Structure 1
Amino acid sequence: MTQNEVHDNREAGRYELQTPQGLAFAEYRPAGPAVMFTHTEVPEALEGQGIGSRLVKAALDDVQAQGRKVIPMCPFVAAFIGQHPEYLELVDPAQRGALGM
Structure 2
Amino acid sequence: MEDLNIQMEEGETGGRAFIEERRELLAEMTYSKAGDSLIIIDHTDVAASMKGQGVGRLLLDVIVAMIRRQGKKIIPLCPYAKSVFDKDPSIRDVLNGN
Work out whether the TM-score is over 0.5: yes
Letter in structure 2 aligned against 1:93 = G
TM-score normalised by the chain length of structure 1: 0.79
Residue 29 of structure 2 corresponds to residue 26 of structure 1: yes
Residue 59 of structure 2 corresponds to residue 55 of structure 1: yes
Q: C-alpha separation between the residues in 2 aligned to 1:57 and 1:75?
A: 16
Q: What residue is the counterpart of 1:10 in the other structure?
A: 10
Native 8 Å contact 1:4 1:18 kept in 2:
no
Shift of the alpha carbon at 1:63?
Answer: 1.2
Unaligned runs of 5+ in 1: 95-101
Count of equivalent residues: 92
CA RMSD in angstroms comes to 2.1
Native 8 Å contact 1:4 1:19 kept in 2:
no
TM-score normalised by the chain length of structure 2: 0.81
Shift of the alpha carbon at 1:64?
Answer: 1.3
Shift of the alpha carbon at 1:82?
Answer: 1.5
Q: C-alpha separation between the residues in 2 aligned to 1:59 and 1:78?
A: 14
- Structure 1 runs, 4 residues or longer, greater than 6 Å off: none
Native 8 Å contact 1:38 1:72 kept in 2:
yes
SS of aligned partner of 2:8: strand
Native 8 Å contact 2:41 2:76 kept in 1:
yes
